[in-house]
Amino acid sequence: MIRVVLADDEDLIRGALAALLELEDDITVVAQVSDGNAAVEAVRAHRPDIAVFDLEMPGRDGVLAAEAVRDVPDLVVVLVTRHARPGVLKRALAAGVRGFVPKTTPASRLASILRDVRGGSRYVDSDIAAAALTEGACPLTARELEVLRHALRGGPVAGIARESNLAAGTVRNYLSSAMTKLNVSTRHEAARLAWEEGWI
Amino acid sequence: MIRVVLADDEDLIRGALAALLELEDDITVVAQVSDGNAAVEAVRAHRPDIAVFDLEMPGRDGVLAAEAVRDVPDLVVVLVTRHARPGVLKRALAAGVRGFVPKTTPASRLASILRDVRGGSRYVDSDIAAAALTEGACPLTARELEVLRHALRGGPVAGIARESNLAAGTVRNYLSSAMTKLNVSTRHEAARLAWEEGWI
DNA sequence: CGGTTCTGGTGACAAATGTCAGCAGACGCG
DNA sequence: CGCGTCTGCTGACATTTGTCACCAGAACCG
């Protein structure tokens, strides 16, 4: 019997996935949680065979949660995601994730994917893998990504500076550098692009 | 037996929801489709008791699809949505939708919601309803919304002006007016806010 | 030790943006 | 017709942004 911990912040989706998995004779959902921190706790408490995490979760996203449970022996982590962005796949694989399943995957395949990764193989959606391979790596530094993250909201530079505890001039420098690298002319375009690529 | 047509562009979610509903003795999923146009066709072809549409779909969104099947007699439409924005609720109710279910709803309640709306009542998530009632209507004019739509991308004013065939100064005026009404200090914040409220 | 890189910062300057007042044509309405 | 309103535009102005050059401390490496 494959024991599964399920983490997704959307109750409807999580419950539906649980129903789907429970239909299988050899799979049982031992815990359901709705955020990244609870996911880590649930994994430590229940010691499942497989942890299925949604990528987009409040508190700690799926990749960070996967990193946090890397030390658990014999645990396989599978990420489920809506926006299957190439950059995220790399982060996920680096975090030891064994399966990367976009929500466009047919529901009928989920169970067999779980069995496969349990058996030792990896599962990565072929479309995303291809995109990730043709993509160049993220050209931005950690600081540049940091300020871009804050720029996503749309506020003025002064606000970003406050949030990141930097001088306004420094923030502008990082933003300027990021904009040059991404070949766009406003920080908002840069932030959007970085988001779409999965860098932030 | 309640016959259901299910439309959601994410195969994994749609399949999981189908599994969830099929668990109920009195509910059966007669068709599953993945976009708004196919949803309309499936409803006409299968004449279900209930149509469950995702709000975010390619081609024709859930509200437009609901409008397109308004003439089908004895049909109840229920919308499922991720971003439960107040403005959208109003559009949905105006389109004759009988149920509005955010994806934060516990999965266990979905079946009973379908039974309730089939019995003639309406279901609207109380949080969204409250938000929609406390919210005033959209304070923006059609032109302001138009330029905000283009501002979403993050480009410079000149680009927005080109896309909307207006002079740059005029665009700035509309943006300025929208920003004042929304009480924010950049057009990007305004565009984001308008998006979150469901106005664009 | 010197050299290099990363981080955080300053000051200066041009361009873009936001704010405001005002103008002109089109349109509907009493 | 006159009046108000909407739309689109212009010009002026202060502020914000983006760009650039440069500085200084810390960490690392040869």
Task: Read off the pLDDT of residues A27-47 as tens digits, 9 standing for 90 and up.
Answer: 999 999 999 999 999 999 999
B180 touches strand D (CB under 7 A): no
B16:A107 CB<8 A: yes
Distance between CA A158 and CA A89 in Å, rounded? 33
Average pLDDT on A82-97 reads 84
Question: By mean pLDDT, which of A22-36, B60-74, B76-90 is the weakest?
Answer: B76-90
Per-residue model confidence (pLDDT) at position A82: 86
- Strand C nucleotides in reach of protein CB atoms, 7 A cut-off: 6-12, 16-22
B103:A186 CB<8 A: no
Nearest nucleotide over every DNA/RNA strand to the A190 CA, judged by C1': D18
Per-residue model confidence (pLDDT) at position B137: 65
Please report which helix (H) or strand (E) contains residue A33, including its range: strand A27-33
CB contacts under 8 A, A 84-113 vs B, are 101-108, 110
Task: Find where tokens 């969830």 sit.
Answer: B20
A71: pLDDT confidence band, cut at 50, 70 and 90?
very high
Residues of chain B with C-beta less than 8 angstroms from the C-beta of A104? 9-12
Nearest nucleotide over every DNA/RNA strand to the B141 CA, judged by C1': D6
Question: Distance of CA B119 to CAs A88, B116, B125, B194, Å?
Answer: 45, 5, 17, 36
Phi, psi (rounded to 5 degrees) for A164 = -105, 10
A83 and chain B in contact, CB less than 8 A: no
Distance between CA A10 and CA A54 in Å, rounded? 9
Q: How far is the CA of A39 from the C1' of C3 (A)?
A: 47
pTM: 0.80
B158 touches strand C (CB under 7 A): yes
User: What are A78's strand-pairing partners?
Assistant: A52, A99
Per-residue model confidence (pLDDT) at position A4: 97
A183 and chain B in contact, CB less than 8 A: no
B70 CA to chain A: closest CA distance, Å? 26
